[in-house]
Structure 1
């Protein structure tokens, strides 16, 4: 039962991190659109823009994996 509580906390925290990351990325897109600039200028270059996308992807993968480990039937 102790492991289930830890998995639940990890799942909730990963969902919160994903929501925050998506909202920040969305706000950057709105800023870029309103000021007629590009996301790579805001991020500091193409490399950092790719790192921003990777952060979103890794956070989504962590959410999926922690959700699978939480809802999996342990015998």
Structure 2
């Protein structure tokens, strides 16, 4: 039961991190649209824009993997 609680905790924290990152990314898109800028200018270059996308992708993968681990049967 202890591993299951840990899995649920990891899933909920990773989901919360993903939602916060998505909201910040969405707000950056609104800012870029309103002021006529580009996302790479706001992020500080193409490399950091790519890292922003990579962070969203990795958080999504962590959510998927931790979500699957919740339903995995543990042999205790």
Q: TM-score, normalised by structure 1?
A: 0.97
How far the C-alpha of 1:30 sits from its partner, in A, is 0.1
- Structure 1 residue runs without a partner (length 5+): none
Task: Could you list the structure 1 runs, at least 4 aligned residues long, displaced by more than 6 angstroms after superposition.
Answer: none
- Structure 2 residue runs without a partner (length 5+): none
Q: TM-score, normalised by structure 2?
A: 0.95
Over the residues paired in the alignment, what is the CA RMSD in angstroms? 0.7
Q: For 1:1-75, list aligned pairs within 5 A.
A: 1-75=1-75
